[in-house]
Amino acid sequence: MSIINTIVTVFATITLFLFAVHKFARQIEHVAGDKFKSILATLTSTPARGVVLGTLFTVIIQSSTAAIVTTQSLVDAGLLSFASSLGIVFGANIGTTLTSQIIAFKLTFIAGYVVLAGFALDHLKTKYQKFGKSIFYFGLIFFCLSLISLYIEPLQSNPTIIDLLSHINSVYVAMLVGALVTVAFQSSSITSGVAIILTSQGLLSFDQAFGIVLGANVGTTSTALIAMFVMGTGAKRTAVAHFLFNLIGVVIILPFLPSFSALIQSLGGGSAIQVANAHLIFNILSTIAFLIFLKPFSDLVVKLVR
């Protein structure tokens, strides 16, 4: 497939993804009762509980993008408030750093089965028929993400891209590349993975690789920002909060990068392990800081998104 065909196909799949997100939100609003709302309220009753939920959810499905978009859908459907979604957003960033180390299972691999199961259930005259469309659109969200990764996968071995990553000599350029590659691949895991591989081969220093990871942290918010255009105010606030959380965290760490690098290296391990540890510790520290200043941060987002 040519580059042009790949780009057109990816944009077409993103359009289908937006359709699935919108329909999923409407369906869960239709079938969800007070009991489901009560469970969600309990799991997100405090910001700390929301962080735990967001972390576990992301670890299980192996996609912070899917976790954030699902959270947006719940907010858009009125099942979660914007304030309750913040803890989940923070936790998703922690969960994405644990994915490759804890769970090898990828939910996107079974997305096709979920789509078929939802379609079949919707056409069966049973008491569970009302859940068919919800399951179908939920599976379609992941199926679209899987297709995007599949279409772009051949580009991961593109010599130009590999050469660009291996010759980065500035942390700021590294951040820009990390953000752009993540937006293109729609996956921070792909970008971070390539950075860690290049580090293990001695092609990137710790600072360069961590710069790519920081850029990926910002780039991964693009999907939620795209999805918010078919959603209501609450979901828009969740997307903007995700973007600001990642962006502000990156801006704050930059002046302290030498000290932070020294801390990570003092923990030992190979260079690749150090990059992975830096990613995890950075997101944990960012989460703690934002939990402390949760009220002013929430107020800022509400002012930005009327």
Please write the tens of the pLDDT for every residue from 248-266: 999 999 999 889 989 988 8
For residue 25, the model assigns a pLDDT of 62
Residues 6+ apart with CB under 8 A from 92: 54, 55, 57, 58, 64, 67, 68, 71
For residue 65, the model assigns a pLDDT of 76
- More confident: 98 or 66: 66
Torsion sign, CA atoms 167, 171, 175, 178:
positive
C-alpha distances in Å from residue 266, one per residue of 88, 185, 201, 274: 31, 33, 21, 9
pLDDT single digits (tens) 213-222: 999 889 888 8
Say how far apart CA 136 and CA 156 lie, in whole Å: 30
pLDDT single digits (tens) 118-159: 899 888 888 888 888 888 887 887 787 677 767 766 665 667
Helix (H) or strand (E) holding 228: none
Is 295:87 a contact under the CB 8 Å cutoff? no
Is 82:75 a contact under the CB 8 Å cutoff? yes
| pLDDT surpasses 50 at 13 | yes
Mean pLDDT (the chain, rounded) = 80
Q: Report residue 105's pLDDT band, with 50, 70 and 90 as the boundaries.
A: very low
Torsion sign, CA atoms 190, 180, 302, 228:
negative
Torsion sign, CA atoms 221, 225, 230, 235:
positive
What are the sequence ranges of the domains in the chain?
3-304
| pLDDT surpasses 90 at 168 | no
For residue 2, the model assigns a pLDDT of 67
> How far is C-alpha 127 from the geometric centre of its chain's CA atoms?
34
Residue 282, CA atoms < 13 Å, CB-side half-sphere: 31
